[in-house]
Structure 1
Amino acid sequence: MTTLDAIIIAIVEGLTEFLPVSSTGHMIITSALLGINKDEFTKLFEVCIQLGAILAVVVLYWKKFLVFDRNRLNFYIKLALAVLPALILGYLLGDKIDMLLESPLVVGITLLLGGIVLLFVDNWFQHPEIDTDEKINVFKALRIGFWQCIAMVPGVSRSAASIIGGMQQKLTRNVAAEFSFFLAVPTMAAATGYKLLKGHELLTANPGNLTLLLIGNVVAFVVAMLAIRFFIDSLKKYGFRMWGYYRIIVGAAILVAIALGYKLSV
């Protein structure tokens, strides 16, 4: 992986982490198109640059995370419960998830099917009752956490799964999106920490890998700051339909390319 490769993948991560289009799926396809060898460092890089993206959430919503009072304690309790299903299943299914991360076919199928779902989401949940995150109780938070686990399949989109889960729990679109952002922080921090714990030798043995990882996180952070603002505005104006069409087009293009014999894995 070159520095340019790292920057490109980080831009893709920053743009797509909080959009309902699957950042993991897009990074898998981007790595394949760039011809990057899918070695252990590439897998570590694609997970750990998510740390830069989630730091953008902490900065943009700093009052939620850094101002300590009774409401914040309840907020942290809800996030802790919501992240539990992903932590448990991620630990139990880690090897199988890593295998799926190498499959552009899985990404193409899930992007396409997820796009079809997004075409109808706005019509399914038309009577929300919860318009602030303070009104989310611990049971609803836990249920949203289970919805998030669907995104362990590459191409599903953690953002889409948790937002849809929130809307199914009577959250408004905006509140569901923001809670999805908040939930990304402990989820991605845990995934990054676990990946670094398992693969820290890849960084200590090669200082160049550490440099690439630092560059990737900085780029992902800056791009994610812009992407979050854009997504909230687009969600208010257009809902999910535009993202559904996007997913269908990209997913169909991937499946057609595979059917025509184009190599999308390295």
Structure 2
Amino acid sequence: MDIEVLGTLAIRENDVSVTPRAPKPRQVLALLALHADQVVPIASLIDELWGDRPPRSARTTLQTYILQLREMIAKALEKDPEGNPPRTPKDVLATAPGGYVLHTSGGTSDVREFERLAGLGYRAMDAGDFPRAARELGDALALWTDSALADVQAGPQLEMQARRLEETRLCALDQRIEADLRLGRHRELLGELTVLVSRYRTHENLHAQFMLALHRSGRRSEALDVYQRLRATLVREMGLEPSASVRRLQQSILVAHPEPGTAQPAAADRERLTRVG
């Protein structure tokens, strides 16, 4: 079984789609797919479908959705290659103690591939291998075609999982941009970072990276403007000042080309400015 959730939901068995159109069966399949090869408790599925107000018929209705999914899987299993051990829908979508489990049987999962590639990228960053880090993290991020489960009506469980996936995506993006900055690709990053800071208006590290990219591109005043916009947004929306590290970066940019008599930046911030170029 091949699973794609980093964008629209697409689940295939034998290259045949087993993704239902009806909203609630899609929710059930999405939650099972996110936890492929693991038991998903019935309580979690019921919470996803109805939250804290499940109907009395919740378990029976859930069983109906499982049956509908197995019917779709049965049609896909008709295309099993000859010579393979025969499988039934219950082998693929199995009943387990307290829940259900969707077996991938060696199929692909875009989430697992994303996590594998991102892990390689993080290890390359730790080793100082910035070209490989940028490549592996870029490949990981390329698996995303939209927001996770973009076309699925999400309940409490899927909303939580979608937020978790978005956080992992942002972490990988942050590290890939850092690798590109270390490689001197600041000019190439300007367009991407312009979009990102507009989308994530309170994300301090993305703003700091944008400030660095602008500064290294000779656009010092624009880098300082980015800081002022970030500060105004944080104060207005969250009642917070920028973090100490972002404030230090702003000060470093301010004094990077000082007038006579202006203090030089602290050594740590000077190194921060120069190492990315």
- Same structural fold, with TM-score higher than 0.5 when normalized by the shorter chain: no
State the TM-score, normalizing by the size of structure 2: 0.26
Name whichever structure is richer in strand by fraction: 2
Structure of greater relative contact order (alpha carbons < 8 Å, 6+ residues apart): 1
Name whichever structure is richer in helix by fraction: 1
Greater gyration radius: 2
